[in-house]
Amino acid sequence: MNRMNYVCSVLAMLAITACAAVKPFPGVVPMEKPDLPLSAAMERLYDEWNPHEDRGNELYSNFKYTPLKGFPRTANVSRRDPTKVILVDGVYHVWYTYRHSECPPVGLKKATDTKPGTDWDLADIWHATSKDGFTWKEEGLAVPRPPKPEQGHRSICTPGILVWENRYYLYFQAYNKVGGQVYCPVRVASADSPNGPWKHHPEPVVGPSPEGTWGNIKINDPCPVVHNGRILIYYKGAPIERGDEYVLRMQGVSFSDNPLGPFVASKLNPVINSGHETCMFPWKDGVAALVALDGPEKNTIQWSPDGENFKVMSMIQVPPVAPGPFCPTAFAGDGNGRGFTWGLCHINPDGGGAANESILARFDCDLSLDVDRQIFKKNNLRFNPDTYFQKGVALPEYLKKEILREQKTLDRNSVFKK
Amino acid sequence: MNRMNYVCSVLAMLAITACAAVKPFPGVVPMEKPDLPLSAAMERLYDEWNPHEDRGNELYSNFKYTPLKGFPRTANVSRRDPTKVILVDGVYHVWYTYRHSECPPVGLKKATDTKPGTDWDLADIWHATSKDGFTWKEEGLAVPRPPKPEQGHRSICTPGILVWENRYYLYFQAYNKVGGQVYCPVRVASADSPNGPWKHHPEPVVGPSPEGTWGNIKINDPCPVVHNGRILIYYKGAPIERGDEYVLRMQGVSFSDNPLGPFVASKLNPVINSGHETCMFPWKDGVAALVALDGPEKNTIQWSPDGENFKVMSMIQVPPVAPGPFCPTAFAGDGNGRGFTWGLCHINPDGGGAANESILARFDCDLSLDVDRQIFKKNNLRFNPDTYFQKGVALPEYLKKEILREQKTLDRNSVFKK
């Protein structure tokens, strides 16, 4: 045995010995998967997550909130569903669903021509500007409901902004009847300037999917981004079957080379199995999504290389509702999505439901490749008692009574049974 | 071609035609994975989740909270880390960390023999009873700190209850010095009755893991369950390296046939890659875990057939902190874990941190095979403005200033760049 062979065999023996002695997992988390017996959870830490966990995950953030100045709260006025924020000549612009009606929402059955059924009924698209993103100036009506009998004459809402070849496009839901299980396609209005004037395109540009399929009646929350040179409009679809049958809130996408369409639905729709209001944004050479509130993958950030096949990248807490981020690369389409650090969202003051007067708020975060703000990478978020005991989170009195009634039977049947 | 062959070939052609015509996903979600092109998200819906989503997922629940009666809030009194609730002769029992000190926690550096460093410093184990789980009677001290120089003479806290062969065991952390990166094993006290008297076992029963490994200094939040006839104690481990180096909050498990040990650590530890306070419970023939607050798999419910290899079963919102469920089958060890419908937890009134006076609260849920309460299967949980603007969730003023300073540079460098 020559010297080299000898050294090699000693090294091999040492390696075998090292493998045979099972050491517990180290205190300092190795960045490479260690050669140790690992539980399923630790395999996932390396294979699905990131050994850096949330702190080293560019697609993890917590969210910190600030009330906005410039949006006075007035009786029967609601502001919600902000678009992405854009910056033009040093001024931030945002659009949103605005309702000012004679009374609060009265529910679908009691709605009239002047009494709104929901918070997003009898609404138009309004516009606000800001120099710093905290203090806003409400500029007023941007896109009014089109006249009867055009689609959308009852209410237009949940706008999404697109900038394409120096022109501005606002996509929005267009209702002829008070919301519920009624036909709702997406229309678009365009302008040469963020200050308008806005011109309605005569026809809806994204319509529901065919009869019997997942989005056959409503297309909610249109969210345009540009990816690989194409316009992608994401949306939440809803079938007429909702209410009677087993349906899920899911998100789909349609593609076009022209902001006025035609838009062609992805053959893989739905592309996200969860989520309520949509929020997609270019991230590196793919598309990321902030998926909130509903479904098995609620409160996650996901990423897709192709805009159609998403993977869960992180789990988030108390995400912004209906977020409209200031996302400078939203429409660049150059395969270098940089993310965002802030945006607007809405809050339903009464803890949710359709009978609210929603308000806009600002969120800050670090979902950006251009900053590194470690405070936003913290998890372990805790809440004060008011959070737990607010309406919708607290146990309601009627349910407490039911539970107390059932408790005795349950206890009798189940205690320490062997 | 005979008739049978003809019929077969027509059927085959129809089948090919049906496959070739790509139909969008149906409105009513099929319970079996359909033979359609599916996005990655829809593949996951069937392969990893459940086409019933949260509503049909026995290991999904939301949580509804109720303030408790019988625990008066007094200056410098803190109650936290409730054990599982047990029912003995028609009375519910719970134990918890109780601190009553001369002042609020002053932080690790300013702590003295009588001034607590943290919320769980200078603490003992107290006991309370209830007839209905909402109104409690504080029975007072159950297990006092052992005398100097015994381990735990500074503080004992975060108890976990075990019932084994008609005897009661309380496991708890035992500190000789004010918390921080100091040695902390788990001790145990036992009694013939839930009303005591409790007798300290002289030696710690679960100690930190070896030098250099993941739990080498502290064993937090012991949580005993019985599975397959063995006692499993779950715990959060912490290495001395925390603070200086890259460590994660993770959970491990140790096994014994005897409540007084010796306990043998799983060779696969850590078995959960996330979570803060531990909460494990028998579920069917395995063990489930409620994983909260920290790590990539924060705010999930997980399940393991063997107690060591866990899988994420659902994603939850605003879970109870440090939950102590009333879990009738916690110690049955018969492979028929039934879960729970309520328990106690704690709330850190100031939104977290170690300088709190925590309070106990009740949560209700449906993580039980014995009830079907659909209200707890809802998601889409929304919050009022106070939730977003509370300390710890709101953007702090100093950070707003930093962000405003950076914003201009960021905007100049990044807007609509192509």
Q: Which domain holds residue A210?
A: 64-388
Neighbours of A371 (CB within 10 A): 16
How far apart, in whole angstroms, are the C-alpha atoms of residue A94 and residue A79? 12
Q: Is the dihedral of CA A163, A164, A169, A173 positive or negative?
A: negative
- Which residues of chain A does B392 touch, with a Cβ-Cβ cutoff of 8 Å? 381-383
Determine, for residues B361 and A388 on separate chains, whether the beta-carbon distance falls below 8 Å: yes
| Cα separation, B203 vs B217, whole angstroms | 17
In this model, does residue B27 exceed pLDDT 80?
yes
Run of H or E residues at B274: none
Percent of chain A with pLDDT over 90: 78
Residue A21 located in a structural domain: no
Average pLDDT score over chain B:
90
* pLDDT score of B77 more than 50: yes
pLDDT band at A410 (very low <50, low <70, confident <90, very high): confident
Between CA A261 and CA B59 the distance in angstroms is: 43
- pLDDT tens, position by position, A272-287: 999 998 899 999 999 9
**Inter-chain contact A163–B276, Cβ cutoff 8 Å?**
no
What does the pLDDT read at residue B351? 61
Report yes or no on A267 lying in a domain.
yes
Distance from A18 to chain B by nearest Cα, in Å? 15
Cα angle: B188, vertex B194, B198; to 5 degrees: 40
**Interchain proximity B212–A391, CB inside 8 Å:** no
Could you give the CA distance from residue A16 to residue B205 in angstroms, rounded to a whole number? 33
A148 to chain B, minimum CA–CA distance in Å?
30
CA B328, CA B50: separation in Å to the nearest integer? Answer: 27
CA gap B105, A269 in Å, rounded? 54
A290 in a structural domain: yes
- Cα separation, A345 vs A162, in Å, equals 18
pTM for the full model? 0.92
Contact: A359, B66; criterion CB under 8 Å: no
Q: Return the number of CB contacts < 8 Å for A and B.
A: 386
Evaluate whether residue A72 is within a structural domain.
Answer: yes
Rounded CA-CA distance B414/B418 in Å is: 9
Domain count, chain A: 1
A414 in a structural domain: no
Residue carrying structure tokens 């039911």: A402
Report the SS3 class of residue A392.
coil
Tokens of A233: 């409009």
Count the helix, strand and coil residues of chain B and give each as a percent rounded to the nearest 5. Answer: 15, 35, 50
In a domain, residue B417? The reply is no
Rounded-to-integer distance, Cα A407 and Cα B245, Å: 48
Yes or no: say if B97 and B78 are a contact pair by the CB < 8 Å rule.
yes
Enclosing H/E stretch for B297: none
Instruction: Return the percentage of chain B with pLDDT > 90, whole number.
Output: 78
- A248 contact residues in B (CB cutoff 8 A): 29, 45, 53
Q: What are phi and psi of A406, to 5 degrees?
A: -75, -25
Question: To probe the interface with A, which of B271, B382, B414 has the most A CB atoms within 10 Å?
Answer: B382
**Mean pLDDT calculated for residue range A316-334:** 96
Task: Express each pLDDT in A189-208 by its tens digit.
Answer: 999 999 999 999 999 999 99
Give chain B positions within 8 Å (CB) of A26: 212-214
Nearest chain A residue to B293 by CA: give it.
Answer: A380
Does residue A408 sit within a domain?
A: no
Is there a domain that residue B405 lies in?
no
Render pLDDT for A237-290 as a digit per residue (tens, 0 to 9). Answer: 988 887 666 678 899 999 999 999 999 999 999 999 999 988 999 999 999 999
The CATH number assigned to the domain holding A100 equals: 2.115.10.20
Paired tokens of A338: 């940089």
ipTM for the whole complex: 0.91
Subunit contact B384:A347, Cβ cutoff 8 A: yes
